[in-house]
């Protein structure tokens, strides 16, 4: 299989190419301004992705990450580790990006030189943001493809496949059981029809006396609670 077919089958290779191209674009701009009395001057220096390698060894490592990601499908021994490399390396790249930005900012502090005040600020340019998007895209694609993290469309389809009729029937049956249990705990006031909890002697609505719970058997006169004991004996 040639490289073009590999790229078609593995979109992360194309993302790695775009990431690599971002190193040719401006990444970081350091803007400096100096003021001494009424005299002021400004200067700006920008660096490409390759230029940031001069600031730290982290820049060299970061430069190698898209090359490794591109080569993973081309090396048969590396393919079995692809799901890990495509997750770990972009995360490492994001960490390095923030570290490089912090290092450059720390190397350009605001200082006072004699009577002059020198202030600097660091801007992140288009190359930086392209690389940021590329690394996030690789992580997202890997989570969906290799770690079975469903996309928004898959989640929607799973919700649609739920048996709503069966679920509604189960809820209805449960509600009916609860209703029956509640009804068994209530008796009806003979005067106003208000539901009164068993054991209450008077209706809370009209004050009428409520029929007491039957405590004795209508046929033999034995206490209801003891009827089963006599029958068993």
Extract the tokens encoding 189. 């006031």
65 closest CA partner among 135, 127, 126, 125: 135
pTM of the predicted model as reported, rounded to 2 decimal places: 0.57
Give which of 61, 67, 62 is closest to 27, Cα–Cα: 62
What number of residues does the chain have? 233
Q: Give the model's confidence band at 56: pLDDT under 50 very low, under 70 low, under 90 confident, else very high.
A: low
- Residues with Cβ within 8 Å of 141's Cβ and at least 6 positions away in sequence, in order, are 11, 12, 15, 86
How do the domains of the chain map onto residue ranges? Answer: 3-151, 180-223
Q: How far apart are CA 82 and CA 6, in angstroms?
A: 14
pLDDT value at residue 135:
94
User: Going by C-beta distance under 8 Å and a sequence separation of 6 or more, which residues neighbour residue 89?
Assistant: 65, 68, 69
| Cα dihedral across residues 77, 79, 81, 87: positive or negative | positive
Residue 111 has pLDDT above 80, yes or no: no
User: Which tokens go with 198?
Assistant: 């068993």
% pLDDT > 90, the chain: 13
Task: State mean pLDDT over 183-197.
Answer: 73
Of 25-39, 69-83, 218-232, least confident by mean pLDDT is 218-232
Q: Predicted confidence band at 226 (pLDDT cuts at 50, 70, 90)? A: very low
- CA-CA distances (angstroms) from residue 207 to 184, 186, 187? 22, 16, 14
Decide: helix, strand or coil at residue 55. coil
Write the class of the CATH domain 3-151. Answer: mainly alpha
């Amino acid at each position: 299989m040639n490289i073009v077919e590999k790229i078609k089958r593995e979109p992360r290779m194309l993302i790695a190419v775009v990431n690599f191209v971002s190193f040719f674009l401006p990444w970081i701009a350091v803007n400096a301004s100096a003021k001494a009395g009424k005299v002021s001057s400004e200067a700006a220096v920008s660096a490409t992705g390759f230029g940031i390698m001069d600031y730290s060894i982290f820049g060299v490592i970061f430069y190698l990450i898209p090359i490794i990601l591109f080569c993973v499908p081309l090396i048969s021994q590396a393919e079995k580790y692809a799901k890990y490399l495509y997750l770990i390396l972009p995360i490492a790249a994001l960490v390095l990006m923030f570290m490089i930005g912090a290092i450059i900012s720390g190397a350009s502090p605001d200082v006072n030189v004699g009577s002059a005040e020198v202030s600097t600020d660091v801007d992140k340019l288009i190359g930086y943001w392209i690389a940021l998007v590329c690394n996030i895209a690789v992580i997202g694609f890997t989570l969906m493809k290799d770690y079975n993290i469903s996309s928004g469309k898959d989640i929607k389809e799973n919700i649609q496949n739920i048996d709503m009729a069966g679920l509604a029937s189960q809820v209805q049956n449960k509600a009916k059981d609860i209703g029956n249990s509640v009804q068994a705990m209530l008796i009806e006031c003979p005067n106003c029809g208000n539901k009164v909890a068993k054991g209450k002697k008077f209706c809370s609505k009209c004050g009428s006396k409520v029929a007491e719970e039957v405590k004795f058997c209508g046929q033999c006169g034995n206490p209801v609670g003891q009827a089963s004991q006599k029958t068993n004996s």
